[in-house]
Amino acid sequence: MINILQIELYKLFSSYRTYITFAITILLMLIVDLGLYSDGEEIFSYLIQPLNDNFYVEGNIINGYLIAYLALNTLWVHIPVLIIIVTTHIFSGEFELGTIRILLTQPISRSNLLTAKIISMIIYTICFMLIVAFFALVPSMIFFGTGDVLVFIDGVQFIQEATFLLRFFYAAVFAVLAMIAFSSMAMFFALWFKNTLTAILLSLGLLILFTLIQTFVLGIFSSWQPFLFTYHIAKWQLFFVDEIPFSTILNSAFFLFAMSVFFIGVSFLKFNKMNISE
Amino acid sequence: MQILKVENLSLQYGDQSILNNISFSIEKGQIIGLLGPNGAGKSSIIKILAGLVFSKTGKIYFKGSLQNKFSDLRKYCGYLIDSPSLYPYLTAKQNLNLIKNINKVDLNIDDLLIKVGLPDVSKKKVKHFSTGMKQRLAIAQALLRSPEILILDEPFNGLDPNGFQDVLNLLETLNNNGITIIISSHLLNELEQFAHSFILLHNGNIELEICKKTLINSKKRVAFTFENEPSNVVKEYITKISGSFTSDSKAIIRLKPNEIAEVVNTLVNLKSTPINVETLTILQEQYLEITA
């Protein structure tokens, strides 16, 4: 099992695709920094204009912590897109290259092979989120310094500087779980259709559709929200609410965990009975 | 010594029957040719033997011992299924190392590359390889576990004449070293020169199972073409030796190999020298019949 995992990781980290997604992420984080460095003051003075009637804001509202928080908003679409480009390829790439045949004709069990692939998918997702967290936080702290953070979630939230790093750490851990759940779904599509592009399109289609439904907070769609994975993925934001609602977050974490277990379980059933006839 | 025996192998996809109660056995050190047109069931047999496709019926014996599943055979076999399965972004050596590490075998990759005729390309990425080189590398992959049986599905596909000859020579060398080879192909003439016995498949059934010795000694279908309609004496002679005319100037006679020269001599003596003599083995004849 360990040797199969080593081989899967070797293939994963030998592929240009892996490093391209890392590079795009780093670029994305640096662009957020650069954008806010040049126009941040103007944007934020516009955003907090309504507050000026009731509050007196002292000091520089734009700091490294705020930018790190804003960078995490790429979790909505950008990060899932980049992650599944690689994670779907871990599975369907073998079918596209025909290499699934050479792997399955070795004296190893299909379950061991799929387990190794799932572990490598999780390792990639963790690496990716570590890069996101590092480049969201460190350059912005260097360029903008640190301070209290003002965020807009269910009204205005003031996050004290001393608590920010812990909240950021929690949000990043939650994001790893969310991205593993999303990748598990994409993996299932990749195994089902044996095609990377189809798996990516289907996963992104659902991401966009559910995000759209989620925006309708009233009407018939409102009752659907607890069943949408995007609703639960978005709960990382709650770590930046003054009093963190841990029970709500745990519910969502459980939903995402159950979603991962479901898609991984169905993928095992599918893969173990799959005829490789092409 | 019997190395492999397959009994009552069947396969169905929905209502479609792919293989119907196929049974055959293979002696150690032989080269077996699985022949047949597209859709005959050659690749399905090979994929079942490789554990890629599951069959609900049938038994498999390796050296007389019944295996629990067809996929248990993977321990003893090396495979090349369809086109070569290689990672294009890795070098030849890296590709082989991957499979070597899965199998935890102690084998010198450079020696293996020399063995398959790829000594100088170990550091070259596979995406830059020709079809023939990929095929040889895929055979090297199949040899990594030092298999007792090599199972190859259409290994000559896409090869130019030189590449074809290289792969053929390589397979003959491997066979001379004691490896049993099962090879599926639709290239009948080439396989006839090379294999020791043949299984001809059609619509999931075995149409003919014959060894090379029997094939060589069995009667052949010989077609004699004459310039003009032959004389009545010639016609009588051909009818007497169980021949028949398919047209005014073309006669078909079933003859053993040593009888062909004798018949030609008689025809020459009867002043009806054939302008063309075509021979078909029973295998070629049946193959042409089912592919017609």
ipTM above 0.85 for this complex: no
pLDDT reading at A116 higher than 90:
yes
Segment among A78-87, A180-189, B209-218 with least mean pLDDT: B209-218
Q: What pLDDT score was predicted for residue B30? A: 92
B102 touches A: beta carbon within 8 Å: yes
Question: Which of the residues A102, A108, A110, A112 would you substitute to probe the B interface, choosing the one with the greatest number of B C-beta atoms within 10 Å?
Answer: A102
* Of B145, B116, B148, B147, nearest in space to B133 by CA: B116
Low-confidence ranges of chain B (pLDDT < 70): none
- The C-alpha of B32 sits at a distance from chain A's nearest C-alpha, in angstroms, of 20
Band (pLDDT 50/70/90 cuts) for residue A188 is very high
On the question of pLDDT at A34 being above 70, the answer is yes
- CB burial of A108-124 (b: ≥16 within 10 Å; e: otherwise) equals bebeebbbbbbebbbeb
* Over residues A92-104, mean pLDDT: 88
Helix (H) or strand (E) holding B27: strand B16-27
User: Which residue in chain A has the smallest CA separation from B84?
Assistant: A98
Q: Which residue of A has its CA nearest to B138?
A: A102
- Cβ neighbours of B79 in A, within 8 Å: 101-102, 105
Residue B4 dihedral angles phi and psi, to the nearest 5°: -145, 140
Given a cut of 70, whether residue A57 has pLDDT beyond it is no
Burial B3-20 (b: 16+ CB within 10 A, else e): bbbbeebbbeeeeeebbe
Determine the 3-state secondary structure of B231 from DSSP.
coil
Quick one: pLDDT at residue A218?
65
A58 band by pLDDT with thresholds 50, 70 and 90: low
Higher pLDDT residue, A114 or A35? A114
Q: What distance in Å separates residue A27's CA from the closest CA in chain B?
A: 25
Query: What's the gap in Å between the CA of A8 and the closest CA on chain B?
Result: 9
Q: What would the 3-class secondary structure string for A73-137 be?
A: HHHCCHHHHHHHHHHHHHHHHHHHHCHHHHHHCCCCCHHHHHHHHHHHHHHHHHHHHHHHHHHHH
Q: Has residue A151 got a pLDDT over 90?
A: no
Q: Is the pLDDT of residue A117 over 90?
A: yes
Do B87 and A11 count as a contact with CB atoms less than 8 A apart? Answer: yes
Q: Tell which wins on pLDDT, A40 or B260.
A: B260
pLDDT of residue A48: 65
Mean pLDDT for A12-33 is 89
Confidence band (pLDDT; 50, 70, 90) for A14?
confident
Model pLDDT, residue B223: 86
Structure confidence at residue A156 (pLDDT): 75
Which stretch of A4-18, A235-249, A253-267, B273-287 has the lowest confidence by average pLDDT?
B273-287
